[in-house]
Structure 1
Amino acid sequence: MFLSRVAASGGAVAFTYPVSSPDGGPETWEELTWEQTRDRVRDLALGLHSLGVTSQARCAIASGTRIEWILADLAILCAGGASTTIYPSSLPPDCAYIVSDSGSMVAFVEDDEQVAKFVAQRPRMPGLSQVVVLDGKGGEDGWVISLDELARRGAELHGERPELFEELVAAVRPDHLATLIYTSGSTGRPKGVRLDHANWLYESQAVKDLGDELRAEGRELLTPDDVQYLWLPLSHVFGKLMQVSQLRLGFTTAVDGRIDRIVENLAVVRPTFMAAAPRILEKVYNRVVMQAKEGGAATYRVFRWAAGVADRVARLREGGKEPSGVLALQHRVADALVFRKLRATFGDRLKFLVSGSAPLSADIGRFFYGAGITVLEGYGLTETSAGTFLNRPGDIRFGSVGLPLPGTEVKIAEDGEVLVRGGGVMRGYHNLSGATEEALTEDGWFATGDIGVLEHGHLRITDRKKELIKTSGGKYVAPQGIESRFKSLCPYVGNLVVHGDRRPYCVALVTLDPEAIATWAQENGLGGLDYPDLAEEPRVREMVQEAIDELNEGLPRHETVKRFTILPSELTVEGGEMTPSLKMRRRAIEDKYRDVLDSMYEGDTRTR
């Protein structure tokens, strides 16, 4: 697929990426054509061949999202190997576990910080013969070499055997292992998910087929003229899906994984589409809310009115209609006052955003949709190669994750668990045959672990099977939906963790959004207080309580949050409360804050 894309697109721009100025000036964006990409990948692939990488040999990548990550991944695959992905935020023992369990013989690491992790864990990785640093120099004993050195060795081999690269590519088969991705491990040790070339061929073809179906109906998904802004972690299966879709369709991708540069990059890249985790959309929404509040009472009233207009328009569009009459006029006024500025933030060319990896608040999705920014929420897991369900342009139902991709089947088990079957489903877990048999039936159905319902063909995920709460009164509570709804009600909160399993009622742990609460504190004469002090500030609690009260108004009695505690710090990956893909580790959080949770039930004779 890669070489076919090079043959078809040749001198067209494949990638753009930021490059720092050597003299400390502003960074610039450079371009790589498909042919230039092929040449770089060829040299790196032959360099890996010279290191002994053969068919399906694992090579790890521990790096943030950058152009070198993509080049390394393509080189591994073209050499016949398989990529093992490691989040750059992973702790040294976790890196060693993944390298050892996967049997990786070569590791690409981002910089000196990552090199230090691997050097410290070297005795635990006896099978790792070479480390290649993407942004740095080699080590003294030769165990660490630079990316340039690897490419130099490959170029030398290409000069000796010009035909070797194409021979290596031709030897790769659809059933060969392509990617070994370790799940985030919200409970227990991460499991290596084995995805072969056929999985990615299916995913990319499904995206193309979906685009062809929509085009025949007068709608559009993606074309070779589109520009993707790719910041997603490439260690995550969602990011990998965006990679292979590009190979199939041929659009240009701007690559930069620095989250703190997203807003600035949007103005430079001006993408026509991008994928995003809901947390990014929440932050954009919260920033818009805060800016409106900073403008004073009148400005905030205008914003709230415009948000109401957006919601009504979005609900009409969900039903296949467009606003008319008074609502159409109101929408034009709201567009001039609010929505136009929001679209400009995204570069003014955005056709749609794809949201995945965690639930998106329906209220936030409708706000963007009514403001002229289409959000297509999708669903998938590492075990299904990410792309499994997607809302379509012109057929969006917020609160659902859309329809199956072409070629994927779905059914709901008797207990409500979502089962899927199709070309994206993994072949199994690495070194865990028992776990594979537990998740996969003989006829290919994969048990997702998610509870869901089908509504007119659209799938709505209600919660994780293992995270459903059953109160001591026998009532079931799905915490994810409550937590997602709350984020649209309180822009100053980072996370809400609902708790109540085998308890008489639900309580919650609350964390604040550092940036948003700092702005709030400044506006309310509390600018001198730091995060822990603000967590104990009565006015902050009062503000959160108002949002909790509003949340409870729309919930059945057994789902309402009776009490809450604001935690003195954020939930972090480093602290073990979040996965690298920013999902909450619910059990770890509950264990860490067990005393806090217990204190919210003190004095209640029904507490178990």
Structure 2
Amino acid sequence: MKEITTPALSGASDYPNATELLMKRFRTAPEHIAFEVRSSHASITDPWRPVSTREFVTEVRALAKGLIAAGLEPGETLAIMSPTRYEWALMDMAAWFASAVVVPIYETSALNQVSAILQDASVRFAVAGSAVHAQLLEQGFAQAGVSGGQIWCMDADTGATLKDLIHGGADIALETLEARRLLATLDSVATIVYTSGTTAAPKGALITHGNFVGQVLSVAGAYTEVVKESGNTIIFLPMAHVLARGLQLICLANGMRIAHLSETKEIVPALGVLKPTFLVVVPRVLQKIQASAAGAAAKKNLGGLWSVAQATAVDWGLLAQERESDPSRKAGLSLRVRHAVFDRLFYSRIRKLVGGRLEYLLSGAAALDAELSLFFRGLGLPVIEGYGLTETTAPLTGNLPFSIKSGSVGVPMPGTTIRISENGEVLARGVGVFAGYNRAADNTQAFQDGFFRTGDTGVLDDQGRLTLTGRIKDVIVTAGGKTVSPTIWEGYVESDPLIAHAVMVGEGKPFLGGLVLLDSGSVSEWAQSKGFADLQTLRTPDDGGCVEVDDARLRKAISKVVAAANSKIARSEQVKKIVLLVVDLSEANGLVTPTMKLKRNIFTERALIFIEKIYAEKRSQA
């Protein structure tokens, strides 16, 4: 058993609860711009309205008074179901000012999910983003057997609105609100966040004010190069995800400007307007950027040159990584010349595409391919990979700006201990680790000797950096008795933009197979660049099922990806035969979580006929 601890930073005791993160900022820099808000119906490229810390606090107070006047009691729950937007931030903090517990609900949740959360968290007050969300919440209350539930809508033209909420609290005195704000302690539950449930039913994680305060102080202290007053970011992750809310608190407490976006198609044009210095992304976004650059080069008949430029960026990124431990390492003349040329031709254009001020990217939620990380570092856009869960209030470990090891998820955050159990599971204890689940039964197997059991497997190196190796439950035992963790192979394959998800199969079988779920959009772009008109539109089933794509050209391309992945792992862990599939990957289809993680068990049940096909013939292929 091996473990590593990063000492905690002092200062958490100066905060009665998480609202003080805002109030300290308000007292020191009330006129500093805290948010950039897009006006209703405005174009993404129109000027965004600046909102100062003072203006934000004023709006929060008015909404909090409204909640108190409406009868929301201290410690009671308030649900928020809305896309990512400024009003989400307002209601989140207003609920805390009223000493309430926030229950986020993903905007894409189905009625049964909404009802289950409302019932489990004993909710009777809710805020909706739109009329559609308000209707779902109303139906959810009815299904959960809640009578007299109150719903306010962020959109001004629907039912009871936030303006109505503010009007209702006009007679509440500021002294009354301030007394209410200070009721919660660091040990009080601040939010109940329901896990996305890739392998089991969602569980409500009880996250305390102390968890948030500890994480904000830890991250700000560890990432002073990133978290600064002169910086800004765009939050486009779902606000129902604890990472987005943690990021917002970190920025709010330290003076980084925040903008919100909910439509992914608007992100690229927004980058040019808002020019962020820091972004949190998932690996899929980085893959798309790389693929887009390759496609643009191919259209100009520069595909061959781009391949050399891509390899050069990886070499430059690897050199930068090596220099962190050995500053004497220097780039050779050939590498310096190539990098300078390609910087003018390609790299500078990509940096301009993302706004021209971007200093760091943080990647989380899924494994990041080491070569992709090196590529972006070589472009001048270093990627800080981190690791965390809902139950750890997001960041548990992270690479540091001055010490990025591609392929690793870094060292423990300040105030955190990581232990590797005898069976290889990653165990965690520290400032961000939650208080437990809402249902007592869910806590039975959640902890071991005071450490939270993450369910992930990993190893620690001599510098205390964690590398993830798989999931405890996601193992395959072949007919020959070989135990294989599919995560590594799947990660290698999923690094290609043509592939949305890869699933290794082979439990009790003589060899390993793979189900490859194609990314329809990327396949269409690829087919267009190749002149394959018949492949530019793949038929996506609308009945929740899977459709096989049996095309020699596409199979050849995917087979190269699989062969490359196989070359990086032991022969006994290599996939021998694959099936290419297209499937509806919307959350409504039930195959992915709100954060787009594949629900493996549900998918393999629906794809059983294709798994059987893999083993129907003795011949193998890849």
Q: TM-score range by the shorter chain?
A: over 0.9
- Partner residue, 2:572: 558
Does the Cα contact within 8 Å between 2:298 and 2:529 map onto a contact in 1? Answer: no
- Partner residue, 2:23: 3
Which 5+ residue runs of structure 2 have no aligned equivalent? 1-20, 541-547
What's the TM-score once normalised by structure 2's chain length?
A: 0.90
Structure 1 pair 408/351, CA: closer, same or farther in 2 (3 Å)? same
Q: Does 1:203 align with 2:215?
A: yes
- Give, as a single letter, the amino acid of the residue that structure 1 aligns with 2:353: T
Find the aligned partners of 1:459 and 1:551 in 2 and give their Cα distance.
Answer: 22
Find the aligned partners of 2:223 and 2:199 in 1 and give their Cα distance.
Answer: 37
- Give, as a single letter, the amino acid of the residue that structure 1 aligns with 2:533: G
- Partner residue, 2:392: 384
- Partner residue, 1:397: 405
Find the aligned partners of 2:227 and 2:201 in 1 and give their Cα distance.
Answer: 38
Does the Cα contact within 8 Å between 1:512 and 1:570 map onto a contact in 2? Answer: no
**Shift, 1:569, TM fit:** 2.4
Structure 1 pair 254/182, CA: closer, same or farther in 2 (3 Å)? same
Find the aligned partners of 1:331 and 1:26 in 2 and give their Cα distance.
Answer: 33
Alignment of 1:540-551 (within 5 A): 540-551=554-565
Find the aligned partners of 1:99 and 1:322 in 2 and give their Cα distance.
Answer: 59
Q: Does 1:310 align with 2:313?
A: yes
- For the residue of structure 1 that corresponds to 2:407, the secondary structure is coil
- For the residue of structure 1 that corresponds to 2:458, the secondary structure is strand
The worse-fitting range, judged by mean Cα deviation, of 169-178 and 115-124 is: 115-124
Alignment partner of 1:235 out of 231, 237, 240? 240
- Partner residue, 2:230: 225
Find the aligned partners of 2:269 and 2:553 in 1 and give their Cα distance.
Answer: 33
**Shift, 1:136, TM fit:** 4.2
Alpha-carbon displacement from aligned partner over 1:97-155 (angstroms, at most 9, x marks no partner): 1011101121111101212222333322333620111114444xxxxx1111112222x
Does the Cα contact within 8 Å between 2:515 and 2:581 map onto a contact in 1? Answer: yes
- Give, as a single letter, the amino acid of the residue that structure 2 aligns with 1:146: T
Which 5+ residue runs of structure 1 have no aligned equivalent? 140-144, 213-219
- Give, as a single letter, the amino acid of the residue that structure 2 aligns with 1:112: A
Q: Does 1:536 align with 2:550?
A: yes
- Give, as a single letter, the amino acid of the residue that structure 2 aligns with 1:346: V
Structure 1 pair 300/487, CA: closer, same or farther in 2 (3 Å)? farther
- Give, as a single letter, the amino acid of the residue that structure 2 aligns with 1:151: I
**Shift, 1:242, TM fit:** 0.1
- Partner residue, 1:149: 164
What's the TM-score once normalised by structure 1's chain length?
A: 0.92
Instruction: Point out which structure has higher relative CO (alpha carbons under 8 A, 6+ apart).
Output: 2
Q: Does 1:409 align with 2:417?
A: yes
Does the Cα contact within 8 Å between 1:511 and 1:570 map onto a contact in 2? Answer: no
The worse-fitting range, judged by mean Cα deviation, of 192-201 and 470-479 is: 470-479
Alpha-carbon displacement from aligned partner over 1:442-470 (angstroms, at most 9, x marks no partner): x5311110000001210000111111222
Does the Cα contact within 8 Å between 1:289 and 1:491 map onto a contact in 2? Answer: no
Find the aligned partners of 1:71 and 1:86 in 2 and give their Cα distance.
Answer: 16
Structure 1 pair 244/25, CA: closer, same or farther in 2 (3 Å)? closer
Alignment of 1:154-173 (within 5 A): 154=169, 156-158=170-172, 161-173=173-185
Alignment partner of 1:184 out of 176, 193, 196? 196
- Partner residue, 1:131: 151
The worse-fitting range, judged by mean Cα deviation, of 597-606 and 368-377 is: 597-606
Find the aligned partners of 1:434 and 1:162 in 2 and give their Cα distance.
Answer: 41
The worse-fitting range, judged by mean Cα deviation, of 44-53 and 528-537 is: 528-537
Give the superposed CA RMSD: 2.0
- Partner residue, 2:267: 262
Alignment partner of 1:327 out of 312, 335, 338? 335
Alignment partner of 2:478 out of 467, 471, 478? 471
Structure 1 pair 28/535, CA: closer, same or farther in 2 (3 Å)? farther
Find the aligned partners of 2:200 and 2:241 in 1 and give their Cα distance.
Answer: 18
- Partner residue, 2:543: none
Find the aligned partners of 1:136 and 1:514 in 2 and give their Cα distance.
Answer: 37
Structure 1 pair 311/151, CA: closer, same or farther in 2 (3 Å)? same
- Give, as a single letter, the amino acid of the residue that structure 2 aligns with 1:148: K
Alignment of 1:103-142 (within 5 A): 103-127=122-146, 129-139=149-159
- For the residue of structure 1 that corresponds to 2:434, the secondary structure is coil
- For the residue of structure 1 that corresponds to 2:539, the secondary structure is helix
**Shift, 1:376, TM fit:** 0.2
- For the residue of structure 2 that corresponds to 1:460, the secondary structure is strand
- Partner residue, 2:597: 583
Find the aligned partners of 2:116 and 2:238 in 1 and give their Cα distance.
Answer: 20
Find the aligned partners of 1:575 and 1:537 in 2 and give their Cα distance.
Answer: 25
Does the Cα contact within 8 Å between 1:389 and 1:405 map onto a contact in 2? Answer: yes
- Give, as a single letter, the amino acid of the residue that structure 2 aligns with 1:360: L
Q: Percent identity?
A: 31
- Partner residue, 1:374: 382
Does the Cα contact within 8 Å between 2:38 and 2:44 map onto a contact in 1? Answer: no
Find the aligned partners of 2:83 and 2:526 in 1 and give their Cα distance.
Answer: 32
Find the aligned partners of 1:501 and 1:25 in 2 and give their Cα distance.
Answer: 49
Does the Cα contact within 8 Å between 1:59 and 1:107 map onto a contact in 2? Answer: yes
The worse-fitting range, judged by mean Cα deviation, of 40-49 and 248-257 is: 248-257
Does the Cα contact within 8 Å between 1:17 and 1:256 map onto a contact in 2? Answer: no
**Shift, 1:56, TM fit:** 1.5
**Shift, 1:291, TM fit:** 1.9
- Give, as a single letter, the amino acid of the residue that structure 2 aligns with 1:392: L
- Partner residue, 2:10: none
- For the residue of structure 1 that corresponds to 2:470, the secondary structure is strand
- For the residue of structure 1 that corresponds to 2:234, the secondary structure is strand
- For the residue of structure 2 that corresponds to 1:19, the secondary structure is coil
Find the aligned partners of 1:58 and 1:119 in 2 and give their Cα distance.
Answer: 16
- Partner residue, 1:250: 255
Find the aligned partners of 1:546 and 1:211 in 2 and give their Cα distance.
Answer: 39
Does the Cα contact within 8 Å between 2:131 and 2:158 map onto a contact in 1? Answer: no
Structure 1 pair 43/409, CA: closer, same or farther in 2 (3 Å)? same
State the number of aligned residues: 585
Does the Cα contact within 8 Å between 2:186 and 2:209 map onto a contact in 1? Answer: yes
Find the aligned partners of 2:294 and 2:346 in 1 and give their Cα distance.
Answer: 11
- For the residue of structure 2 that corresponds to 1:438, the secondary structure is coil
Alignment partner of 1:507 out of 498, 513, 526? 513
Find the aligned partners of 1:224 and 1:444 in 2 and give their Cα distance.
Answer: 37
Find the aligned partners of 2:77 and 2:320 in 1 and give their Cα distance.
Answer: 47
Find the aligned partners of 2:278 and 2:218 in 1 and give their Cα distance.
Answer: 18
Find the aligned partners of 2:605 and 2:44 in 1 and give their Cα distance.
Answer: 48
- Partner residue, 2:500: 494
**Shift, 1:274, TM fit:** 1.1
**Shift, 1:491, TM fit:** 2.8
- Give, as a single letter, the amino acid of the residue that structure 2 aligns with 1:152: H
- Partner residue, 2:441: 434
